[in-house]
Amino acid sequence: MAYKVSNPLEIGDLPLIGSNDKTQISLINKIDDFGNSEVGLANMDVLDFLKTVKNPVARLIVASPPYNIGKPYEKREAFEDYLDWQEEVLKECHRILLDNGSLCWQVGNYVEKKEIFPLDFFFYNIIKKKIGMKLRNRIIWRFGHGLPSSSRFSGRYETILWFTKSDDYIFNLDAVRVRSKYPGKRYYRGPNKGKPSCNIKGKNPSDIWDPVPEWEESVWDIPNVKAHHPEKTKHPCQFPIELIERLVLALTNESDLIIDPFCGTGSSLIAAISRKRRAIGVDKSTEYINICIDRLNRYYNGSLKRRILGTPIFEPKPTDKVAQIPKEWEGLDHF
Ligand SMILES: C[S@@+](CC[C@H](N)C(=O)[O-])C[C@H]1O[C@@H](n2cnc3c(N)ncnc32)[C@H](O)[C@@H]1O
């Protein structure tokens, strides 16, 4: 049975579909438990949950699945077996997606004996060739920091494959436009000569995105507090909320249902509800679901710290401590 978690505050003016029920977070074992909640959390295996969904319900399914690289939340298996499992999950996702819905699969590399296998190559084959969805963008999520590599160039991007179920899909470009770099540019010839040449509503954000995970920013802002930053949870692979927020705004409308079948700490759920959508997250780990509940409660009581979509990326000034050559390197052959 669905029940309220902890002590949620009032939702305010958020419209809930078909009811004035104020249930915010429900723990569910099947879609029928979701009712009029704003967020449903299913602490169970992804396929077990998806199989409870009888009809197409989701406008957007967005997730970063395990990459089969031996993270604490996954058991490494033969690459082919991993892909077969993912294919089964993706077929279920396609089945429960509304006809004008979108699927966004965020992936990096599978690595075996130091050789990399870009997962989006393999997922493209599954989602396009075996399931028949249409690719609209291969978005590059670029980030500034991460583990350095000594046997190849350090990886500094991952991708999001955005597929639609049909040619009739939602794309709210105006909701996600960004400020033009040179809004003062003007046409220098032709009938519009002298008039501003940029779109007054801003420009298309393009398919290369730079959202910064909150903990990464904190490392630059306040050196040495990484482990204590409130946004850094125990989860090793958290999404930045704003990464998903842009997808939510562009690919769904208010009150739509968004499902993250591998929700981890619930970043995509927060992105959804902060933009007046509803969301269901599935994760088999009770530890991560608890982190998720904690973050959602902090979102509802206003104490969740987060970057807002479109915040400029922090660049250290030459005078900042982090931008200076360490004293220990003085007199040595350094770069
Ligand atoms: C890459 S992480 C997702 C992180 C998430 N995007 C976030 O922002 O926190 C993948 C998640 O899939 C979950 N997971 C792995 N296998 C699963 C399964 N069979 N069913 C449900 N969840 C699973 C893991 O517990 C992990 O939290």
pLDDT digit string, tens, across residues 62-107: 999 999 988 888 889 999 999 999 999 999 999 999 999 999 999 9
Q: Is the CB of 267 under 6 A from ligand 1?
A: yes
How many angstroms is it from 226 CA to the middle of ligand 1? Answer: 23
Query: Residue 13 falls within a domain, yes or no?
Result: no
Q: Are both 153 and 272 inside the same structural domain?
A: yes
Q: Is the CB of 220 under 6 A from ligand 1?
A: no
Q: Are both 182 and 158 inside the same structural domain?
A: no
Q: Are both 30 and 162 inside the same structural domain?
A: yes
How many angstroms is it from 65 CA to the middle of ligand 1? Answer: 6
Rg (C-alpha) for the chain, rounded Å, is 22
Query: How far apart (Å, rounded) are the C-alpha atoms in residues 257 and 39?
Result: 9
How many angstroms is it from 251 CA to the middle of ligand 1? Answer: 22
Quickly state the pLDDT bin for 237 (edges 50, 70, 90). Answer: confident
Relative to the CA of 262, which ligand 1 atom is closest? Answer: 12
The residue type of 261 is P
How many angstroms is it from 97 CA to the middle of ligand 1? Answer: 20
Of 5, 2, 3, 1, which is closest to residue 297 (Cα–Cα)? Answer: 5
pLDDT at 333: 82
Give mean pLDDT, residues 19-40. Answer: 82
Q: Is the CB of 66 under 6 A from ligand 1?
A: yes
Chain centroid to CA 216: 16
What residue's CA is closest to ligand 1, atom 17?
284
Query: Residue 241 falls within a domain, yes or no?
Result: yes
Query: Residue 9 falls within a domain, yes or no?
Result: no
Structural domain of 178: 173-206
Residue that is last in its domain, among 149, 183, 206: 206
Q: Are both 239 and 131 inside the same structural domain?
A: yes
Query: Residue 16 falls within a domain, yes or no?
Result: no
Give mean pLDDT, residues 136-165. Answer: 93
Q: Is the CB of 45 under 6 A from ligand 1?
A: yes
The helix or strand, by DSSP H or E, that contains position 80, with its residue range, turns out to be: helix 79-95
Length, in residues, of the chain: 335
What residue's CA is closest to ligand 1, atom 24?
73
Residue that is last in its domain, among 158, 187, 206: 206
Q: Is the CB of 85 under 6 A from ligand 1?
A: no
Give mean pLDDT, residues 38-58. Answer: 96
Query: Residue 287 falls within a domain, yes or no?
Result: yes
Q: Is the CB of 284 under 6 A from ligand 1?
A: yes
Q: Are both 227 and 295 inside the same structural domain?
A: yes
Q: Are both 256 and 268 inside the same structural domain?
A: yes
Q: Are both 256 and 122 inside the same structural domain?
A: yes
Q: Is the pLDDT of residue 7 over 80?
A: no
Quickly state the pLDDT bin for 36 (edges 50, 70, 90). Answer: confident
* % of the chain surpassing 90 pLDDT: 62
Q: Are both 164 and 177 inside the same structural domain?
A: no
Cα separation values, 265 from 11, 43, 45, 143, 283, Å: 21, 12, 16, 20, 9
Q: Are both 232 and 292 inside the same structural domain?
A: yes
Which residue has 């692979």 as its token pair?
237
Q: Is the CB of 212 under 6 A from ligand 1?
A: no
Relative to the CA of 85, which ligand 1 atom is closest? Answer: 19
Count of structural domains within the chain:
2
Query: Residue 224 falls within a domain, yes or no?
Result: yes
Strand-pair category, 109-112 with 115-118: antiparallel
Q: Are both 159 and 190 inside the same structural domain?
A: no
pLDDT at 17: 38
Relative to the CA of 260, which ligand 1 atom is closest? Answer: 6
Q: Which residue has the higher pLDDT, 147 or 88?
A: 88
Q: Which residue has the higher pLDDT, 305 or 169?
A: 169
Lowest-confidence pick of 119-133, 140-154, 212-226: 212-226
The residue type of 113 is K
Q: Is the CB of 262 under 6 A from ligand 1?
A: yes
Of 247, 211, 242, 244, which is closest to residue 102 (Cα–Cα)? Answer: 247
Give mean pLDDT, residues 27-33. Answer: 93
Query: Residue 160 falls within a domain, yes or no?
Result: yes
Query: How far apart (Å, rounded) are the C-alpha atoms in residues 49 and 95?
Result: 13
Query: How far apart (Å, rounded) are the C-alpha atoms in residues 277 and 245?
Result: 11
Q: Are both 146 and 29 inside the same structural domain?
A: yes
Q: Is the pLDDT of residue 248 over 90?
A: yes
CATH (domain of 133): 3.40.50.150
Q: Are both 116 and 128 inside the same structural domain?
A: yes
Residues 185, 196: contact at Cβ < 8 Å? yes
Q: Is the CB of 281 under 6 A from ligand 1?
A: no
